[in-house]
Structure 1
Amino acid sequence: MSEMVDRAAGSKPDVHDMVVVHRSFRQACAQLPDLVRGVRAGDTARAALVVDEVRFMLMGLEAHHTSEDEYLWPLLADRAAAHAEAIARMEEQHHRLEELVTKVTGALDGLMAAPQPAVCAEVADQLTELGLVLTAHMDEEERTILPLAAEHLGVAEWERLGEISLAKVEKKHLLRAFSALMAVATPAERRTFLAKAPLPARILWRLSGRRAHARREARLYGA
């Protein structure tokens, strides 16, 4: 009933927020392989910092994809049956990405405990492969799935997808995730996110989130 009311009112969700989320993943995939390759042999402190950044990205990716698996694909499969092949392809791509994420995750403890050039190169190559597959997936999702979501989902339903994804992120990482998203957003996109965010999140981001993100970036990239 809520879906019928939402659609009857002529309202459509602003699916562009997904593009900004994807932009954050694109940036991470472009940067992480070089960060891993740059870890010096035996530098366990640097390895721990870089591994933490990799794990943070993988955590966000898992939350993002499992929320689509559990919520978005079933909705679209029910309402956009003519595009069943494209939706099934998204699911298949997720399975492939899960395999690559598992491979990277399995190598991180070894990288952190004993960073050596061969180990760093192996993990960096795995991250590069993950980035290539993920980028192709996000490209197709933006071309085919987001227009379908805008057509077939109501505003509340689209917002529910974001809520499900956020619920899968540990609370201690929520401000970090929001700050990382805001860092890749344009000024206009940032205003949109702030308008939707709860007041505590807006306050925390202004008081500490931006600075914490800048400090983390400086430690990672020396800026």
Structure 2
Amino acid sequence: MTTSPQPADRLAAFGNQLVDVHLWLREELSRLREDVDAFLSGGADRPRNLRAHCLAFCTALTRHHTAEDQGVFPVLAETYPSLRPVLAELARDHEQVEEILRRLQELLDALPGTEAGTEPDPAEVRRVRGELDGLVALVESHFTYEEKKLVTALNELGTPLPDDFRLADLTGH
């Protein structure tokens, strides 16, 4: 006989879900970095695919951060008032990440494809790599800080969280 999980069992996993989402986003960011590096070094000639990959990653990261800002963080702030300064700092990070994502997408959209016989301008290459390096550094420090500060509180939380918080909603699975 199988029993359905108690609501508390399901809710206790929210902190773990955060870590799972962050792991997936880290993997996607690593793949994006590899794709950008391959294109910028002349090893790939599909800027349309690169732009599509960047857009997909940017959209997933934005959805995750929006779910946190609009659903998760208010619940945590209400339940754990001592976390309010941490949540405000994380929300500021989200704004910075969004700005970097916007600039990166604009830079990638402006790059010519190698199939047209044109090489990207070295200054453009440096700007793309600089934005991507900044994104990687900010996202990694943000995820690490968020996990350190929020996982325990999320695992203790007894309130349902938004659907967009789940990994399945980001990956389509």
For the criterion TM > 0.5, the same-fold answer is yes
Alignment-derived partner of residue 124 in structure 1: 129
Residue 12 of structure 1, CA deviation: 4.0
Check the 8 A contact 1:29/1:127 in 2, yes or no.
no
Check the 8 A contact 1:32/1:124 in 2, yes or no.
no
Q: TM-score, normalised by structure 2?
A: 0.77
Alignment of 1:57-136 (within 5 A): 57-111=57-111, 116-118=120-122, 119-136=124-141
Indicate the percent of aligned positions where both proteins have the same amino acid.
Answer: 19
Alignment-derived partner of residue 165 in structure 2: 162
Q: Helix, strand or coil: the match of 1:38?
A: helix
Q: Provide Cα deviations, 1:143-178, integer angstroms capped at 9, x if missing partner.
A: 111211222333xx1364536x93xx7xxxxxxx24
C-alpha distance in structure 1 between counterparts of 2:146 and 2:121, whole Å? 35
In the superposition, relative to structure 1, how do residues 120 and 12 fare at CA in structure 2: closer, same or farther (>3 Å)? same
Residue 108 of structure 1, CA deviation: 2.1
- 5+ residue gaps, structure 1, are 1-5, 170-176, 179-200, 202-223
Tell whether 2:39 aligns with 1:39. yes
Alignment-derived partner of residue 49 in structure 1: 49
C-alpha distance in structure 2 between counterparts of 1:159 and 1:96, whole Å? 23
Cα RMSD, aligned residues only: 2.9
Q: Provide Cα deviations, 1:95-127, integer angstroms capped at 9, x if missing partner.
A: 111121121122121125565152333212211
Aligned residues: 161
- Match for 1:74: what amino acid? P
With 64-73 and 46-55 compared, the bigger mean Cα shift is at 46-55
- 5+ residue gaps, structure 2, are 1-6
Check the 8 A contact 1:47/1:112 in 2, yes or no.
yes
C-alpha distance in structure 2 between counterparts of 1:151 and 1:123, whole Å? 41
With 63-72 and 106-115 compared, the bigger mean Cα shift is at 106-115
Check the 8 A contact 2:71/2:162 in 1, yes or no.
no
